[in-house]
Amino acid sequence: MRKQRQQKNSSEITLRLWTLPEAQKVVPYLRAIVASVRDNWLEIAQARLRMRRLEARRGRPNRRSLILKEECSREIARTEARLEETLGEMSALSAYCLDPVAGLALIPFRHGPDLAWFVFDLFGPQGLVAWRLYSDPLETRRKLTDLEKTPSA
């Protein structure tokens, strides 16, 4: 009987931990990525709504409605592919979308021994609007000025 080799767990994720100055430099690029994620997300939602409305029509579908359904289905698939590509770009930065409609994203950094996140807001004038510890509830927002006052070993 052969011994089975133990395989490494391939679900490990390596995060790039940012500093505040580095994160501030990447804000213009992140702004473009998050705007693209938001636009694609809203496009998908709109196309799905159109599809639901087409499917909700009573009676036997005519040729025109069948064509519209097919076009809508293709549009959803294309937009989902663009969204996945954009999320991949974000993931390469170790940034993660928190709320695509609100334009919120998280950028990881180390705060002392803890993992923390810079909160990026697409509609915030500075981009980086707050920070939170990994263990904090999602709604928690700490001022960036508070971060500068605390030691971050």
101-123 pLDDT, tens digit per residue, is 999 999 999 988 999 999 999 99
The pLDDT score that the predictor gives to residue 153 is: 45
Using alpha carbons, select from 118, 111, 113 the residue that is nearest to residue 152: 111
Strand blocks (E) in 94-133: 96-99, 104-111, 114-121, 128-133
The residue ranking higher by pLDDT, 150 or 27, is: 27
Q: Could you tell me the residue ranges of all domains in the chain? A: 20-149
Q: Is 152 exposed, middle or buried (0-12, 13-18, 19+ CB in 10 A)?
A: middle
Q: Determine contact, residues 75/44, Cβ cutoff 8 Å.
A: no
The gap between the terminal CA atoms of the chain, to the nearest Å, is 51
How far is residue 82 CA from its own chain's centroid? 13
Do the strands 104-111 and 114-121 form a parallel or antiparallel pair, or are they unpaired? antiparallel
CA angle in degrees (0–180, nearest 5) for 87-115-152: 125
- Asked which of 3-17, 65-79, 84-98 is least confident by mean pLDDT, the reply is 3-17
Report the largest interatomic distance among the alpha carbons of the chain, rounded to a whole angstrom: 68
Distance CA 113, CA 107 (A): 17
Global confidence as pTM: 0.80
18-69 pLDDT, tens digit per residue, is 999 999 999 999 999 999 999 999 999 999 998 888 888 888 888 888 888 8
**Distant-in-sequence, close-in-space partners of 80: CB < 8 Å, separation ≥ 6:** 40, 44
Distance CA 66, CA 126 (A): 47
- pLDDT at residue 16 is higher than 60: yes
69-89 pLDDT, tens digit per residue, is 899 899 999 999 999 999 999
